[in-house]
Amino acid sequence: MRTSTISLLLSVTLLITASAAPASRALYLAPRGDGQAGTGTITDPFDASTPAKLWQAWLKTAFRSDGLTNHTIVFLPGTYACTNDLRLPWDAREVIISGYGARLVEVDTALEGQRHMLTTSWEGNDAVSFEGFSLDCGSAVKYGASAKVCGVWSRGKGNSVRNVTVKNLASCNRGGDSLEAFGINLVSDGGIVSGCQVSGIAGELPFATGICLNGSDSVASGNVVDLGDTSATNQTVTFGYSLYGNRLLLSGNVARNVDAGISMDGSGDGGESTWSDNVVTGNILGGNEMCVRIDNNTQGYRNWLWTGNNFHANGGRWLLLSTQNPKWAATKIAGNRFTGNAFSGTVQADNLLLSNWGEDPHTFNANSFSVPPKIQPLSNEKDLYGQGNTVQGRPANREFRGE
């Protein structure tokens, strides 16, 4: 690499990683153009200028004979072409994977099955942070019959994903396998996703979710999901956020141009779970079909607090809580509280706010509605309570039972 280029990369990276880890624990990669393999230092980074060289550089940095604990792996600024999962070894922990200024592009020309651009081990790694990357999952991919490309998949305790951009979530379901691509899937207790952006979908019949929290005591804050899906009548299936766990916080996020701002479907992993005591606050949640969709859970969703959100429907419904399959007829959605939210936009002709809410009371206090909400009959007269709600600035008390 030329001296001027090294000097520029050095100055940028020192600013980024000054507080990340001791220099002796930092390893560096770059898309070099000088043909040198490199030694992994900041002035002589491992060469990652082709997919094959990136894979070899990753093996040298992540799969070290002396283990990978309290290390920082730094992708220096530049574009990296990928055809492999960049996966951590099973025994890695306390690792920062930093890519400020780095763009990773999936370029597989015959992709089959699943691909995760950045990922922990399947067994999980604790205290792992992915930071600063721009990931392009699908703009250059050619697919087989069933394939998907995900951005970040992180399993473990105390993991984080910060300031990562994921573009062109890629999913192809011609094979009928319903492969769901995730921009960021945090399978972690005590984790955080913050400052991230997920945009765009690619592939045939795509099925995609922007950000998923799958665990307990985790946070998603300050993220934006815009998958560019503007119609509920096409063959795409797109969701902004998914929450699977207890004591989760979804705060200050945006979802737009998706079928549902939040979708939670318990028919897969954890279908027998009760997810409770979660807080959804200060978000802007739009949806072509519904702002929030909850279904197919045999145990239920209990004691959630929804406060200060803007639910903006785009011709669909605000809230759809349903049991789409008789198998899940025992769904319990109990003790939810909706306080200080704004329900706006264009909704279906029936203006349906709720459906299949279970048997325990729910409260709606001080919410505003752009049109009068209609509520599907509930199983008893005291299922719903409300005070101080308004429709176009007028009191809406009579729409809510118990008043």
Q: CB-hemisphere CA count at 13 Å for 278?
A: 26
How far is residue 347's CA from residue 45's CA, in Å, rounded to a whole number? 55
pTM of the model: 0.87
Specify the pLDDT at position 37. 94
Specify the pLDDT at position 50. 96
Specify the pLDDT at position 144. 62
Specify the pLDDT at position 13. 42
- Annotate 243-263 with b (16+ C-beta within 10 A) or e (fewer): bbbbbbbbbebbbbbbbbbbb
Specify the pLDDT at position 346. 79
Of 264, 273, 267, 270, whose CA–CA distance to 291 is shortest? 264
What lies within 8 Å, CB to CB, of 277 at 6+ separation is: 246, 247, 302, 303, 304
C-alpha dist (Å) from residue 349 to 109, 191, 301, 346, 399? 46, 40, 27, 9, 17
Rounding to the nearest 10 degrees, give the CA dihedral for residues 37, 39, 45, 49: 20
- Residue range 254-269, pLDDT digits in tens: 999 998 999 887 654 4
Specify the pLDDT at position 398. 58
Specify the pLDDT at position 79. 97
Specify the pLDDT at position 321. 62
Q: Which helix (H) or strand (E) holds 335?
A: none
- Residue range 1-19, pLDDT digits in tens: 444 433 433 343 434 443 4
Q: For residue 236, give the 3-state DSSP assignment.
A: coil
Strands 237-244 and 207-214: parallel
Specify the pLDDT at position 15. 41
Q: Residue ranges of the chain with pLDDT lower than 50?
A: 1-24, 268-271, 325-331, 379-382, 402-403
Specify the pLDDT at position 231. 65
How far is residue 356's CA from residue 331's CA, in Å, rounded to a whole number? 8
Specify the pLDDT at position 372. 79
